[in-house]
Structure 1
Amino acid sequence: MMKFKYFILLILFHQLFYSQNNLTDSLKTYSYNDLSQKFYSYNNSNEIRNAKIISKYYLKKAKSEKNQEQISEGYVMMHFNENLPNALKYLDSLQIITKNSDKDYYPARIYLLRGNLYSKFYNVKTALGNYVLTLDHAREKGNKRQIAFAEISIAYLNNYIGKYRDAANTLRHYLYNTDYLDKKDYDNIRVNLVDTYIEINKIDSARILIEEGLLFNSENGNTNQYYGYLLESGFYNLKIKKYHIAIENLIRCKKYFFTTNNIKNQSYTLLFLGQSYVGLKETEKAIETFIQLDSHIQQSKHLFPELREVYPYLINYYKEKNDKEKQLYFIEKFLKIDQILDSQFRYISRELPRRYDKPRLLKEKENIINELKNRKRFFYFSVLVLLLILLIFIFLYRKSKKAEKQHRKIAQDLIYFVNENKIKRETISINETFSDNFQEQGTIEDKTTKTISQDVAQNILKELENFEAKEQFINKGITLGSLAKKIRTNSKYLSEIINTYKGKNFTGYINDLRIDYAIKRLAEDRKFRSYKISSIAEELGYNTEQAFTLAFKKRTGTPLSIYLKEVERIVDSTDYKSKNTLK
C-alpha cells in the first residue's frame, strides 16, 4: 500500500515537472509584452502556479539579456505571489536597480507596491506610511496616475476607520472625473464605491452601480468582478433587511471565493452571511457561520473592524449556553483582536489627518490663495483693459463727432453756395470757398503748352466749355478717346490741355464735373435726391454706387450721406435763405 502511494506521488511529480517544462519551452517564443500580458491574466484569474512560472522566466530572460528596464518589471512580477519577507526582498532589488531611473513613476511606484504589499498582509500602519511617501514622490514628479493610486489607497484606509464620506468623495472623483487609469482600476474603484455608498446609506446609488456591474460582468464573462458585485449585492440586501436574498447571493459567493485566494472577500462573505442569519433570528446558523469566520481569521490573520460585532455575539451565545470554556475562549480572542484593531484604528485615525489630510488641506489653502491672487490680478488687468477700451472709444467717438461736424460744415457750405447761385453753370468753381481739394483754373493767357499752339488750345477749350454746358459729362462710357474724337482733336492734345488748363487728368476732370453737377442737382431737385443712390450714380454716368460715393467724398471732403442729410434738413425747410441760418 505504501509503495502504491509513493508511485502515485512520483507520477504526480513527473506530470507537474513535465507540464512546467512544456510551459517554459512555449514561453521562448513570446515577447516581453506577451509575457507580461499572460502573467497578469493568470495572476488576476488566481492561476498562481502558471503566473509564478512566467514571472521566473521573465526575470531570467531579462537578466540574461541585461535589460535593466525588463529586470525591473521581472522583480515587480516576482513579488506578487511571495510571502512578505521574500516579496520585500524583490522590491528592495527593484529600488536598487531603479535608483537612477529617469522614469517619472520612480520611486513612487516602489512605495506604492510596498504599501499594497503591507495592506495585503494587514499591516495598515506601514501601508499608510508607504502610501504617503508614494504621494509625496508622485507629486514631486507630477505623475498623476501614481497620485491617483496613492489617494485611492488612502481612501480605502479612510473606509477602514469609518470615514466613509471622505472615501466616497475620493473614489467618486477618480471614477467620474478622470480618464487616465486602466479599466481594471476603474472596476475596482466602482466596486469599492458601492461599499461606501451602502455605509453612508446612499442605497439607490449603490443599487444602480450593483445592477450595472452584475449585468456588464455577466455579459462579458468577468467572473471575479461579477462575484465582487454579487458580494456587494449581499451586503446591500443585508442593509435593507432582505435577508433571504442576501443569503442566496452570499452562499453563491462563498462557493466561489473559497476556490480563490481572495482572503478579504472570503472574510466578508462569512461576515455578511452570519449577520443575515442573525437578522432572520436563525441563531444556530449564525453561530456556525461566525465560527467558520473565526477559523478563517486564525489561518489568514485578516482582521477588520466589523469583527467587533462578531465576537460579542459568540460570547453572549455561549454565556447563555453556560459553556464557560468557549465563552472564555472567545473572550480572550476578542480582547486580543480588539487590542490589535484598536491599535491600528488609533494609529490610522491619528496619522491620516496628520500625514495626509493636513498637508492636503494646506495645499488646498495655498491653491485657493493663489487662485484668489490670480483672480485679483485678472480683475485689475480686466479693469485696465476695459479702461483702455473706454478711452479709445471716447477718443474715436470724439474724433468721429469732430469729423462729422466738419463734414456737416462742408455740406452746409456747399448747399449755401448752391442756393446763393454762386456756382456758375459753366465751371462750378466752388473750390476756392470750401475745399482745398479744388484747384484754381487758369486762363489761356497765363497757361502755355510746349507742343500745342494757342489757336489750337483755344479751340479745344471752347469745345470743352460747350461739352460742360451741355452736361455731356454725365453720359456713361465717356473716355479720353471718345471725347477727343467728338471735339475733332487727338487724345494727346486733349489730355495735355486738360492737364495744363484744368490742373487735373482726364479721369479727375470728368469726376469733378459729375460731382459738381451732383452737388447742385441734389440741392435743387427733390425728385432726383429721392432716387436710390445706385440710380443716382447710374444717371451721373458711374458704373457702380461705390465709385460714385468715393468720388463724392474725394471731391467735396464730406460723405454723400451727410450731404444728403444736410440737404434734407436745410433745403427742405423754409429757413435757409442766408448762411446765418445754418447751424
Structure 2
Amino acid sequence: MKFYHLLAILFVFNYGFSQSETYLSKEAYEELQVLAKTSIYVNMDSCFYYVNKIEQSKNPIHKAFANGTKGYLYQLENDSIKSKEALQKSYLYLNKVSQSKEKLQLKAYLLNCEGLSNSDRYNLKIALDKFQQGKKIAEEIGDLVQVLKFNSNIASINIDIGNYNAAISIHQESANFLIKNPDLFPKKEYEFLLANTFVSISNCYQSKYELVEKEAKLIDSAVIYSEKALEKIANNSVLRVKTLSNLGNIQFLKKNYDKASKAYLEALAISKKNAITTQNLLLTYNLGYLNFEIGQYKKSLLYFKKVDSIWNANKNKKITNEYLSSNYYQTKIYKYLKDDTNFLKHSKIYLQNVDQFETFESKLLEETLDVNNNLKNKNLKKEILQLNEKYRTNSLIEKVIYLSSICTILILLFLLIKKRKEKEKNKIKSANLIQEYKINIENKKKLNQKIEKENTNKETKKISIDDEKENEIVDLLEKLESKNKFLNHDFTQEYVAKKIKTNTTYLSFVVNKRFGKSFNDYITDLKINYALNEMITNETYRKLSLQKIADSVGYKSTTSFRKSFIKKTGIPPTEFLKNLN
C-alpha cells in the first residue's frame, strides 16, 4: 500500500482515538476490523498496523479480536510460538467480557483464527475441531457470515485429506450463498470471499483430475472457475497470484507449456512486487520444474538456484517440498552435465534433509488419517453431515471393492495355476492316448479294447451255457461291431440281445466273461474308442462341433458324451482336440 494511502487512512480514523490512545469508538473499531480482515492476504504489514491500533483500546473485546488476528498473522509468518502466545492472550481478554451475543460472535471468530493457525501447522485434527466448535456457536446465534467462513475452512480440511467431492460441494454451496447475499459483506471482503471460493473449487477440480480421475471435463471445470476468480480480484494481489499459479498448474497438466510458463511468470512478477515470499518460492520452483520437463536443463537450473536462494533468505528454515525437490532435480541436472562437484553438493543437501521432510510427511499422513476418522465420527450439521455420510459410504464401498478385488485376483491366480497344471497333465494324457493308439494299430488291435477271453479271477453268476453258444454270441457281437451298429442311439442291451437271437442274461454273462466289463461299459468303450480313432486320424472329423461328434457316436447330449469321454480318457474332449491341433 502506498504511503499517501496510509496517510488518508490515518486521517479518517484519527477521530476514533483519544489523544492518549486508550479509547476506540464502536464505529472506528468496526471500520478498522474490516480493514484488518480485508488486508490479511493483501499486505500483512498493513494488517498488523490495523490490529495494533485496535489493541490500543481499553475494551477487552477489541483486545481479544486484535490478539486473535495477530495469532493467525504470526502463524502466516511461520512464527508458531508468537502465534500461540497471541491466541492465549486473546482468550484471557475474552474471559473478561460479560455474556452476550457479541461475546459469542467473538469466540467463534477466535476459534476460526485458532483453527486456521493449526491448519497452517498441519494440525488438521485440532483445526477441524476448532472449526466445528466455532460453526456450532455461529449457527446458534444466527451468524450466517461466520457459518459461511467455517464451511469454507472445513472444505479446506477436506481438500487436505483428498476428499475433493465433499470440498467441491461445500464450496459450490458457499458460492451460491454469496451470489444470493452480496449485501452481507463489505464490497472488498465480498469480492475476496467469492473469488477465493472460485479458486478453491478450481483447485479441487485440478487435484481430482491429477490424483483421482483423468477426465477432460474436470480440467475444463478448473479453468472455468479460475477465470471466474480472475474477474473478481483485480485489486487483490495475493489472490491474483494464487489464481494465476493455479491456471499455470492447469495448463501444465494439459501440456500447454507456453501458456503455463506465461501464467507462472505473470504471477511471479506480482508476487515479487508485493514481497509474497511463499509464492515466490513456489512459482520459481514451478518454472524450474516446467523447464526440466521440456528438457531445458540450463534454464531449469537457473530457477532451481533461485529456489535455494529464496529458501536460504527465509528466517524460518523449515524444509519444504519445493526446496527438497529443487535439490533433487539439481542433482540430476549436474549429473547430466557431468559436473561432479555440484552433483555431490546437491545430493548431499538432499540426503541430509530428506529424513526430516519424510518425518513431516509422516506426521501429515497421520493427521489425515485422524481427520478422516474425526469426520466419520462427528455429528456434523446439515450439508456437512450429508457430504461426509456420502464420503463414508464411498470409502466403505471402495474398501469392499478393494478387498474383493484382492480376493478375486488370488482366486483367479489359484485357478489359473490349477488350470495350467491340468493342461500339462492333459497334454501328457493326450500324448499317451495317441501313443497307445499307434501301438494298437501296429498290433492290429482295437483302440483301448482289452479283451479278456477268460476272466477266471472275477466271480460271475453260475449260468449254464456251453462254449459253442458262447463263441456264437461273441462272433455275432463282433459282426455288429464291424458294421458300427454301436453308433446307433438305440444300441441297448435289449436291442442287441434281440438282434443276435439270445436273451439279455446270456448276453450280459458273455460280455462280462469275455470282455471283463458290464454291457454298458462295453458299449461306452466302443463309442469312445471310435470317437478317439476318428479324432486322431480324421482331420475333417476334428473340425466338427462337440454336439455333432456326440451325435456321430450315438449320444443324445454333449453332456453325457463329455462325461463318458472324461471317464474313459481322464481329459475333456475339447482339451484333447486342442492338444491334437
Normalising by structure 2, report the TM-score: 0.51
Q: Distance in 1 between matches of 2:258 and 2:386?
A: 49
User: Residue in 2 aligned with 1:34?
Assistant: 31
Q: More displaced, 19-28 or 323-332?
A: 19-28
User: Residue in 2 aligned with 1:86?
Assistant: 82
CA deviations on 1:137-173 (whole Å, 9 max, x unpaired) are 5326635554543443343344334443443333233
1:96 maps to a residue whose letter is: L
Matches within 5 A, 1:276-425: 276-298=290-312, 299=314, 300-301=316-317, 310-320=326-336, 321=338, 322-323=340-341, 324-360=343-379, 364=385
Q: Distance in 2 between matches of 1:160 and 1:309?
A: 20
Change (3 A) 1:160 1:273: farther
User: Residue in 2 aligned with 1:188?
Assistant: 196
Change (3 A) 1:40 1:146: closer
Change (3 A) 1:285 1:344: farther
User: Residue in 2 aligned with 1:211?
Assistant: 227
1:350 maps to a residue whose letter is: L
Change (3 A) 1:296 1:162: farther
Give the conservation status (yes or no) of the 8 Å contact 2:261–2:287: yes
Q: Distance in 2 between matches of 1:208 and 1:341?
A: 34
- Secondary structure at 1:124 match in 2: coil
- Residue 113 of structure 1: how far off its partner (Å): 0.6
Q: Distance in 2 between matches of 1:33 and 1:268?
A: 35
Q: Distance in 1 between matches of 2:69 and 2:282?
A: 27
2:229 maps to a residue whose letter is: G
User: Residue in 2 aligned with 1:227?
Assistant: 241
1:210 maps to a residue whose letter is: S
Matches within 5 A, 1:226-305: 226-298=240-312, 299=314, 300-301=316-317
Change (3 A) 1:195 1:264: farther
> In the alignment, is residue 71 of structure 1 matched against residue 68 of structure 2?
no
2:297 maps to a residue whose letter is: T
Q: Distance in 2 between matches of 1:237 and 1:227?
A: 15
CA deviations on 1:179-201 (whole Å, 9 max, x unpaired) are 56752222212112211211222
Give the conservation status (yes or no) of the 8 Å contact 2:72–2:114: no
* Root mean square deviation of aligned Cα: 3.7
Q: Distance in 1 between matches of 2:303 and 2:328?
A: 14
Give the conservation status (yes or no) of the 8 Å contact 2:71–2:113: no
Q: Distance in 2 between matches of 1:349 and 1:77?
A: 26
Matches within 5 A, 1:438-457: none
CA deviations on 1:414-445 (whole Å, 9 max, x unpaired) are xxxxxxxxxxxxxxxxxxxxxxxxxxxxxxxx
Change (3 A) 1:35 1:239: same
- Residue 80 of structure 1: how far off its partner (Å): 5.0
2:364 maps to a residue whose letter is: F
Q: Which has the larger radius of gyration?
A: 1
> In the alignment, is residue 114 of structure 1 matched against residue 114 of structure 2?
yes
1:186 maps to a residue whose letter is: L
Normalising by structure 1, report the TM-score: 0.51
Give the conservation status (yes or no) of the 8 Å contact 2:245–2:263: yes
Give the conservation status (yes or no) of the 8 Å contact 2:166–2:387: no
2:303 maps to a residue whose letter is: T
User: Residue in 1 aligned with 2:531?
Assistant: none
Q: Distance in 2 between matches of 1:334 and 1:39?
A: 37
Q: Distance in 2 between matches of 1:247 and 1:306?
A: 17
- Residue 252 of structure 1: how far off its partner (Å): 1.9
- Residue 277 of structure 1: how far off its partner (Å): 0.9
- Residue 41 of structure 1: how far off its partner (Å): 5.0
Change (3 A) 1:40 1:159: closer
User: Residue in 2 aligned with 1:508?
Assistant: none
The unaligned stretches of length 5 or more in structure 2 are: 17-27, 210-217, 390-581
Q: More displaced, 337-346 or 191-200?
A: 337-346
Give the conservation status (yes or no) of the 8 Å contact 2:319–2:357: no
Give the conservation status (yes or no) of the 8 Å contact 1:210–1:233: yes
Q: Distance in 2 between matches of 1:223 and 1:59?
A: 27
| Count of equivalent residues | 342
Give the conservation status (yes or no) of the 8 Å contact 1:315–1:327: yes
- Residue 345 of structure 1: how far off its partner (Å): 2.5
CA deviations on 1:89-138 (whole Å, 9 max, x unpaired) are 23222212223643433533323212222444xx112x540331330353
Give the conservation status (yes or no) of the 8 Å contact 2:319–2:353: no
Give the conservation status (yes or no) of the 8 Å contact 1:109–1:134: no
Change (3 A) 1:106 1:156: same
- Secondary structure at 1:142 match in 2: helix
Q: What is the percent sequence identity of the aligned residues?
A: 15
Q: Distance in 2 between matches of 1:119 and 1:302?
A: 16
Give the conservation status (yes or no) of the 8 Å contact 1:107–1:137: yes
- Residue 21 of structure 1: how far off its partner (Å): 10
2:261 maps to a residue whose letter is: I
2:241 maps to a residue whose letter is: Y
